[in-house]
Amino acid sequence: MPKSDDNTLPEDAAIIRYVHMLNEACEKTGRKFIEPSSLKAKMIAAGFVDVELRMYKWPHNEWPKEDRYKRLGYWTQENFGTALEALCMAPFTRVLGWNRNEVNVLLIDVRKDLKNTNYHAYCPVYVLYRGVSDVASC
């Protein structure tokens, strides 16, 4: 889910609606997104040790002041912006019953949100890794 630490991303932003609708379509087909915070406990329960879960903030565009995050934001916007239609067209039309034009209208607004540097939005990217397993078969 897109986030903004300084509340510059409105709750009714198109990008948030897009993610909610994509989640809804996936859940209707039995493909629920997993909350990343639950994965650490599952790894530990499976016998893994030294399990770490880290969250990194990938800005949606070039709003950050720091150059490395500005570059990351550029590439996040470029990659996500080009993937939007491919990610949602089938779920929105086949599962939610939208038509192609309705999807494209939403995508226009989502792309505007992605480019809006007044929105200090980022995508939380989680990395889960582990040390040596206590389970002999692994």
Measured between alpha carbons, how far is 45 from 39 in angstroms, rounded to an integer?
Answer: 10
- Please answer whether residues 61 and 73 qualify as being in contact, where contact means their C-beta atoms are separated by less than 8 angstroms: yes
DSSP 84-103: HHHHHHHIIIIIS---HHHH
State the first-to-last Cα distance of the chain, in angstroms, to the nearest integer. 33
What pLDDT tens digit does each residue of the chain (138 aa) get?
899 999 999 999 999 999 999 999 999 999 988 888 889 999 899 988 889 999 999 999 999 999 999 999 999 999 999 999 999 999 999 999 999 999 999 999 999 999 999 999 999 999 998 765 555 555
pTM: 0.84
